[in-house]
Amino acid sequence: MAWYDGYRAYDDDTLATLANPGLLRRAAKDVEAGKVAWAEQGEAGGVAGVAGVVMADGQRVQLDARGPQQARCDCPAPGICKHILGAALWLRALEPAAAGAGDAIAAQQENATPAGPDPLAEILALDAAALFKAAGVAAVRRAAAAASGAVEWRVQGGALVMDLPELGASCRWVAGAGYAGMVSEVPAAERKAVHLIAIAALRSAHGQPFAWPEGAQPAPVEDTARLGDRERAFLRQVESMLQELLTGGLSHVSELTSARLLALNMSARGEGLPRLAALLRNLGGTVDLLVRRDHRAEERDAFALMARIHALCAALARAEGDLAAALRGRLRRDFDETAALDLLPLGAHWWQTRGGARGLTVAFWDLAGARLLQASLARPDGTDTAFTRSGAWSANALWPGAGAAQSVCQTAVRLEQPRLAEDGRLALGGATRAQPLPAWDADDPRLAAIGCGNWAELGDRLRAATGLAAEPFDAVLLRPADTRLPVLDEARQRLDWLVQDDAGQWLRLGIPVGPEHRERVDNLDRFTARRAPVHAVLVRIERSAASTELMPIAVLSTDAKKKLQAVSLDFADEAARTTSLANRILRMFEARQQQRQAAPMGAPTLSARLLAPVIDVAETQAATGRMALTAPQRQRLHEALDRTGSIGLEVLANALRAHLAAPAAVPLLKLGFLCQLLGELDGLPEHREAQAI
């Protein structure tokens, strides 16, 4: 085997991660133009030294078996340049060496195929002591303190891709390249630790957890009722970072900011502050989009997260007792592997974040725990082109024995050795095995005990999920006693669906009309048009600064065999309506009559009208970094102060006075959080009596 055979493990995605897609395209053009060739071909081997020299577009590139990260080029460009990428592309396209060809011929003679590289087996076979030595003491301590129990992985070409959702990072283990050859976009200062975290999480998922060196892990937090001096010092560091970021202006953030936020995220996990760590991770992802000038990024999103982080730091510094423990959050490092779970599939939905992450989430009802559980297939960005909406639904298996989501949603299922986190997330892969169970009958008495059947209880849960110490949830299962046909709200461009609870109260669910929800809207309209029974509705909770929307994503109904059926609105193939024109016109008039009878929902809330000028001024200051108020800005804030004082919102009025008296980063963050909290509370969905509809 030649030394350069290992370069075949570096696919385009891995090379793009080392540099960037634009540079990779330029390198590929050089290879196509014949600008890359051998200059000196050394002996096979040379792992620690130069094994060969390649001329790429007139530059000498020295390479060896350790991969492109260790290559050296004569050009003045720092890091991985176009010439190194071109050399790597050219080397991976070379024919296998003679020894490799002989192995293939021998394998054919034995009616076998030569085994390709197995990056997963390489990771599971790693010697812990040698790995810790290669990483270094500082990285081992950092990794042990911020260890993550959540990891998703997939083999892609000759690399194993590991996604760490709790850190917002993705790492690649390249077959044959070892720990030193791992690839990621993590800042250099944290790269060794994050790579080690990914390896540890993957091994733990396969039942081979690392035994961290003695003294590497920080002492566990014994007193969660109050913060120590070290934790308070860390909070001051976070607040200093927020003020620096705000006064510099969110429109002028740099790559260094993303690196610092990742470091703070890992430190927060090490200090036993998982709630703060999650907010810092989200802020880091938003700032990263701003750095790349992504069209999906907005400064207002970063400012909202910063205001919430500042409020959490201030509350943590003062809290004691149960409140302090709640503000810390629950550290979800490990999954609970219970004996077995009997689950009722509720449906699946496809999603995509503004940052480019996308995935498929499948929901289940846990019969023993009487709770909603979710499992997600996801990718952090668009680099995995094989991961598509249709493939995730019909081709990507969730667990061995279960098949893809499409088949899982057709019957009940039992999970053996499930990996279940405290927040209701089911991990995929690992040692978990699935066993299909018979589908429920449509009249199964257990249906009366699943989900929420009283909208007042739902309102209490939503109110309890607001605030700093709350445990938010993003999905709920509703059990309606009655429903009405969906109505198109032309003014708000959404399809509204009224559902009634067992107390006779009505709740409005809605799906925005747009390209991203086209299948969802069409399938709900067609499903309700055929008057199919509705046993339960799976609802996605969409929160924003102004409101909380409830979006139906799946329905439990009855199929032709009188069996329970989960209808996923994103993937169902509901037949088009075949009613006559006269019946469709009659239905249109009935829908318009219902729309006139329904309570108006389009008017903005009181808080939205009151806070609009305040939020506008605050977001402008955050984006520009100019804390000094202009005359028009002062006038708008004084007008808002008069209105807030007249209706008794003294806390908000005091925050406005403080910012008007001395405009600065801290008063601005306090004002931003108060506006955010008031908007959340005033924007909760309402339920109404039957006579009001």
- For 610-657, write each residue's pLDDT tens digit: 888 999 999 999 999 999 999 999 999 999 999 888 888 899 999 999
> Within its chain, how far is the Cα of 271 from the centroid?
23
CA–CA dist 21, 29 (Å, integer): 13
**How many helices, marked H, and strands, marked E, lie in the chain?**
22, 27
CB atoms within 10 A of CB 148: 22
Share of residues in the chain with pLDDT > 90 (%): 47
Contact indicator for 535, 559 with CB cutoff of 8 Å: no
Q: What is the residue whose two structure tokens read 């929902």?
A: 601
Task: Write the Ramachandran bin of 625: left for phi over 0, alpha for psi from -120 to 50, otherwise beta.
Answer: left
Q: Is the pLDDT of residue 580 over 60?
A: no
d(CA 6, CA 25): 21
User: Nearest CA to 539 among 548, 547, 531?
Assistant: 548
Q: How far is CA 487 from CA 59, 375, 529, 603, 690, in A?
A: 66, 32, 12, 17, 17
Mean pLDDT value across residues 209-213: 89
438: pLDDT strictly greater than 60: yes
- Who has greater pLDDT, 209 or 589? 209
Gap between the Cα atoms of 496 and 508, Å rounded: 6
What's the confidence (pLDDT) of residue 182? Answer: 93
Structure tokens, 343: 């689950």
pLDDT of residue 216: 77
Rounded Cα distance between 693 and 179, Å, is 63
Give the pLDDT score at 110.
42
Q: Which of 120-134, 214-228, 468-482, 519-533 has the lowest average pLDDT?
A: 214-228
Contact 148, 166 (CB under 8 A): yes
Quickly state the pLDDT bin for 245 (edges 50, 70, 90): very high
Q: What are phi and psi of 223, to 5 degrees?
A: -110, 95
In whole angstroms, what is the distance from residue 111 CA to residue 114 CA?
A: 10
**Which tokens in the block code for residue 365?**
């009802």
pLDDT for 45-102, tens place per residue? 444 455 789 999 999 999 988 889 889 999 999 889 999 999 999 999 987 754 344 4
Task: Note the CATH architecture for domain 338-438.
Answer: Beta Barrel (2.40)
pLDDT in tens, 528-548: 988 899 999 999 998 876 678
**For residue 61, how many other CB atoms are within 10 A of its CB?**
27
pTM of the complete model: 0.78
pLDDT band for position 428 (50/70/90)? Answer: confident
End-to-end alpha carbon distance in the chain = 76
Q: Alpha-carbon distance 46 to 52, whole Å? A: 9
> Which two three-digit tokens encode residue 299?
């400064």
Binning pLDDT at 50, 70 and 90, where does residue 20 land? confident
The C-alpha atoms of residue 404 and residue 413 are separated, in whole angstroms, by 13
| Distance of alpha carbon 313 from alpha carbon 441, whole angstroms | 51
The phi and psi torsions of 493 (rounded to 5 degrees) equal 55, 60
Higher pLDDT, residue 320 or 686? 320
Tell me if 56 sits within 8 A of 26, measured CB to CB: no
Q: What is the pLDDT of residue 475?
A: 94
- Given a contact cutoff of 8 angstroms between Cβ atoms, the answer to whether 377 and 359 are in contact is yes
How far is the C-alpha of 620 from the C-alpha of 612, rounded, in Å? 12
CA dist list (Å): 522 to 258, 406, 576, 644: 40, 19, 9, 43
Does an H or E element contain 152, and which? strand 152-156
Q: What is residue 688's predicted lDDT score, i.e. its pLDDT?
A: 62
User: At 92, which helix (H) or strand (E)?
Assistant: helix 82-92
Asked whether the predicted pLDDT for residue 114 surpasses 60, the reply is no
578-591 mean pLDDT: 55
Q: How far apart are CA 288 and CA 572, in angstroms?
A: 36
Element (H, E) at 370: none
- 600, pLDDT greater than 80: no
Paired with 498 in beta bridges are 508
Write the pLDDT tens digit of every residue in 367-419. 998 999 999 988 776 667 778 899 999 998 888 888 899 999 999 999 998 88
| Mean confidence (pLDDT) of the chain | 85
Pairing of strands 371-379, 425-426: parallel
Question: Residue 687 — very low, low, confident or very high, per pLDDT cuts 50/70/90?
Answer: low
Top-confidence range, 484-498, 500-514, 598-612: 500-514
In angstroms, what CA-CA distances link 253 with 141, 177, 249, 672? 30, 34, 7, 19
- Strand, coil or helix: 185: coil
Per the CB < 8 A criterion, the answer to whether 65 and 46 are in contact is yes
SS3 per-residue string spanning 65-84: CCCHHHCEECCCCCCCCHHH
Position of tokens 């048009």?
Answer: 529
Q: Which residue has the higher pLDDT, 155 or 335?
A: 155
What ranges in 110-136 are assigned the alpha helix state H?
A: 119-124, 128-135
Average the pLDDT over each of 244-258, 467-481, 588-602 and give the range with the smallest value.
588-602
Above 60 in pLDDT, residue 676?
Answer: yes
Q: How far apart are CA 20 and CA 85, in angstroms?
A: 10
Return d(Cα 248, Cα 622) in angstroms, integer: 9
Pairwise CA distance, residues 23 & 20, whole Å: 6
Return the percentage of the chain with pLDDT > 70, whole number. Answer: 86
Confidence of residue 691 (pLDDT cuts 50, 70, 90): very low
